[in-house]
Chain A
Amino acid sequence: MKFAYRRSATDEQASEVDIVSLPERPGVYRVTVGEHVFELDDQLFHRAAFLKEAGDITLQLEGREYRLFDAKQRRRATATQVGDLHAPMAGKIIHILVQPGERVKAGATLLIMEAMKMEQHITAPHDGVVSRLLCSEGDQVTAGAELVVLEPSSTGPTAPHAP
């Protein structure tokens, strides 16, 4: 059987893996990855652990955790960065500090989320104008939900900004 994986979320090169069982040795498999050939025993998974959820694979082996991705899964941009306008975690919107139309400077706090007793400030990744708010105070949002639309501005803010 053949599988293809990416070694990271941004890996452009998929790696092909070929796995066959060895009929003369029950429970043993020969796995070919590029020029490397491995013989693996299925007893391995009494100690290792494997999970595949929606194309994301997590593997725990000898105490280390590895993440890889099904190559059929569409490649994602990058992990959440500071300044991303998406919810970095599931939680509640506790404060919105800006209004639509407001000019903000890069780094300004736009809104504050809370989850598990912890506050997270969502900040502007660049100077711009808040064109739309996609949430309101008190909303419970899921991880990855878009919260604010910020139009980039080349001129910079004209109004003084509190936070």
Chain B
Amino acid sequence: MHKLLVANRGEIAVRIMRAARELDLRTVAVYSEADRDAPHTYLADEAYLLGPPEPAQSYLDRTRLLEIARRSDADAVHPGYGFLAESAAFAEDCRQAGLIYVGPSVEAIRQMGSKILSKQIAARAGVPVVPSYHAPDTATLAQQGPAAAARLGYPILVKASAGGGGKGMRMVEQPTDLLPALAAGAREAQQAFGDATLMLEKYIPHPHHIEVQILGDHCGNRVHLFERECSIQRRHQKIVEETPAPAVDEALRQHLTSAALCLAAAVDYTNAGTVEFLVGPDGAFYFLEMNTRLQVEHPITELVTGIDIVHQQLRIARGEPLAFTQEQLSQRGHAMECRLYAEDPAHGFLPATGRIRVLREPHGPGRRIDSGIALDQEVTPYYDPILAKLISYGATRQEALLRMQALLRDYTILGVTTNRQFLLDVTTSAAFAAAEIDTAFLDRHFADWQPAAVVSDEILAVAALGELLQRRGQLPSAAATPAPAAPDIVLTTPWHHYDGWRIGGSV
């Protein structure tokens, strides 16, 4: 393995490229027309244009990606997260093209990628799954549903079989409400997915979303890197994560990690993966899904275990055995991550766009920033709105929390609306400090959040000073920034040259 193509963009592409260069691999970036000035594009040894901004014509274009891999003489591909990261077809493409795919086997991706199959495999491996009932058709469901629901035990969830994102989903607390809920759910499912098929699932009240990080090599060694608490979610997407999970005691940790390893063994899992669980308030846990890729929130595990997960992914992919055993691993200290998104928490978390006009990323002890943005970069509507990950570390949860609050206060970004202040309010709340976290946390405490920054006379005074200094050229002004050049096909500076020219480097 000598040259790695990173089939992704943003902070994760930057993160992977840094790790690859540390391991003396050359790096190939791919970029869409919207990303020609993005950090991941200029950090790589070589950069190739994929196509127009739309993901289908750029980062999801498998044919074009393989063509670039061939042209750049890359021998390995890292998919990152999102885009093609869980596409068995892409992993298969890479294998057939003779490329090393930095991830698990095609078969493991396929097995864990199916909602139904993954749960069957988990159940067979002795891993608890959320009890559910599937009927072959709507008529059978109406007939058998009441008995099945009684077996599962109320409250139950009615869910669209085809769906996700909460559409067609309703909670039913008592038997008399079941049939009306089935009728309404079927209508909604038909409308949202074109398929009225529903399933019943036991409802787990106030669960924690807790996941276990796994690493497996090609020599039969497999370890876990403990758990992460990921319950703070909006629209079913995590925004704050931490490890160790305050709700997990040593006994539960033992159960969760061995269940995760059992499942990994059942699909002969290699490379990095994550097994997600719902954990009830009583400590009962249920397998949710397995993510067959690098997770957004992997850095917090790196900070408490001292293991660089991306290094390990690359070492495993090139055939090296794990250099450590389970017994050598431990959790030291506490780490937290906040995801900085270009979105407006005061208006339903709608994605925001704009040009980054002011950017200060504060560094210091116990602070790590995995960022994919740069000053003057345009935040476009085409991709996931993640801008950067703010990560803190401390000897205790309290120390990590204080550092996270300071990091969120000091991080400065203007020009695009972000959730920075929302994250600051979440992490400074009494409920978060007390670790009273479950998946309903944001709905319970922050449903009607507003920035609530009263513009006092003092703020007006500071604004006037800002405006005066800007007029005198002592502060950067928005108008002074030139418009971006139209995207072209070939980047012309030597840093982006196709032959991979690098100062002091041998080609």
Query: B97 in the interface, Cβ–Cβ < 8 Å?
Result: no
Chain B residues whose C-beta falls within 8 Å of the C-beta of A134 in the assembled complex: none
Interface residues of A in 1-57 (CB under 8 A from B): 1, 3, 5, 7-8, 15, 17, 19, 29, 31, 33-34, 36, 38, 40, 42, 44-45, 48-53, 57
Whether B351 lies near A116 (C-beta < 8 A) is yes
Whether A80 lies near B420 (C-beta < 8 A) is no
**Closest approach, in angstroms, between the C-beta of B358 and any C-beta of chain A?**
5
Whether B414 lies near A60 (C-beta < 8 A) is yes
Query: B125 in the interface, Cβ–Cβ < 8 Å?
Result: no
Q: Per-position contact with A for B450-487: 1 when CB-CB < 8 Å, else 0?
A: 01010101111111111111100011011000000000
Bound-complex Cα distance A36 to B456 (A) = 10
Chain A residues whose C-beta falls within 8 Å of the C-beta of B424 in the assembled complex: 63
Chain B residues whose C-beta falls within 8 Å of the C-beta of A36 in the assembled complex: 457-458, 461
Whether A80 lies near B415 (C-beta < 8 A) is no
Q: Per-position contact with B for A56-76: 1 when CB-CB < 8 Å, else 0?
A: 011111111111100000000
Interface residues of A in 73-88 (CB under 8 A from B): 79-80, 88
Query: A163 in the interface, Cβ–Cβ < 8 Å?
Result: yes
Bound-complex Cα distance A50 to B350 (A) = 24
Query: A143 in the interface, Cβ–Cβ < 8 Å?
Result: yes
Query: B347 in the interface, Cβ–Cβ < 8 Å?
Result: yes
Bound-complex Cα distance A70 to B56 (A) = 41
Chain A residues whose C-beta falls within 8 Å of the C-beta of B468 in the assembled complex: 1, 19, 29
The residue in chain A whose Cβ has the minimal distance to the Cβ of B55 is: A117
Chain A residues whose C-beta falls within 8 Å of the C-beta of B461 in the assembled complex: 17, 19, 31, 33, 36, 38, 40
Query: A89 in the interface, Cβ–Cβ < 8 Å?
Result: yes
Whether A52 lies near B478 (C-beta < 8 A) is yes
**Closest approach, in angstroms, between the C-beta of A89 and any C-beta of chain B?**
5
Bound-complex Cα distance A19 to B382 (A) = 43
A38, A58, A116 interface centre (most CB from chain B within 10 Å): A116
Query: B410 in the interface, Cβ–Cβ < 8 Å?
Result: yes
Query: A94 in the interface, Cβ–Cβ < 8 Å?
Result: no
Bound-complex Cα distance A90 to B385 (A) = 12
**Closest approach, in angstroms, between the C-beta of A58 and any C-beta of chain B?**
5
Partner of A68, one of B351, B410, B415, B455: B455
- Interface size on A, as a range, is 35 or more
Bound-complex Cα distance A79 to B344 (A) = 12
Q: Per-position contact with A for B398-433: 1 when CB-CB < 8 Å, else 0?
A: 000000000011101011000011001000000000
Contacts A58-B414, A64-B421; A34 near B457 (Cβ below 8 A): yes
B235, B381, B478 interface centre (most CB from chain A within 10 Å): B381
Whether B381 lies near A65 (C-beta < 8 A) is no
Chain A residues whose C-beta falls within 8 Å of the C-beta of B191 in the assembled complex: 162-163
Query: A159 in the interface, Cβ–Cβ < 8 Å?
Result: no
Whether B383 lies near A116 (C-beta < 8 A) is yes
Query: A115 in the interface, Cβ–Cβ < 8 Å?
Result: yes
Give the size of the chain B interface in residues (CB under 8 angstroms).
49
Contacts A49-B358, A59-B462; A116 near B385 (Cβ below 8 A): yes
Chain B residues whose C-beta falls within 8 Å of the C-beta of A50 in the assembled complex: 358, 414, 462-463, 466-467, 469-470, 475
Query: A120 in the interface, Cβ–Cβ < 8 Å?
Result: yes
Chain B residues whose C-beta falls within 8 Å of the C-beta of A3 in the assembled complex: 463-464, 467
Interface of A is mostly: strand
Whether B466 lies near A48 (C-beta < 8 A) is yes
Partner of A66, one of B347, B455, B457: B455
**Closest approach, in angstroms, between the C-beta of A152 and any C-beta of chain B?**
24
**Closest approach, in angstroms, between the C-beta of A138 and any C-beta of chain B?**
10
Whether A90 lies near B381 (C-beta < 8 A) is yes
**Closest approach, in angstroms, between the C-beta of A48 and any C-beta of chain B?**
6
The residue in chain A whose Cβ has the minimal distance to the Cβ of B409 is: A63
Partner of B414, one of A15, A51, A64: A51
Query: A91 in the interface, Cβ–Cβ < 8 Å?
Result: yes
**Closest approach, in angstroms, between the C-beta of B215 and any C-beta of chain A?**
28
The residue in chain B whose Cβ has the minimal distance to the Cβ of A82 is: B348
Whether A88 lies near B464 (C-beta < 8 A) is no
Chain A residues whose C-beta falls within 8 Å of the C-beta of B351 in the assembled complex: 89, 91, 115-116, 118
Contacts A89-B353, A91-B381; A19 near B459 (Cβ below 8 A): no
Whether A15 lies near B352 (C-beta < 8 A) is no
Whether A19 lies near B421 (C-beta < 8 A) is no
Partner of B453, one of A17, A19, A53, A66: A66
Contacts A3-B467, A38-B461; A53 near B347 (Cβ below 8 A): no
Interface residues of B in 52-95 (CB under 8 A from A): none
Query: B110 in the interface, Cβ–Cβ < 8 Å?
Result: no
- Can you list 29 pairs linking A and B with CB atoms under 8 Å apart? A3-B463, A5-B460, A8-B455, A17-B460, A19-B464, A36-B458, A40-B461, A40-B465, A44-B462, A45-B475, A49-B414, A50-B467, A50-B469, A51-B357, A51-B478, A59-B463, A61-B459, A65-B421, A65-B453, A68-B460, A89-B353, A90-B380, A116-B342, A116-B384, A116-B385, A117-B384, A118-B235, A143-B353, A163-B191
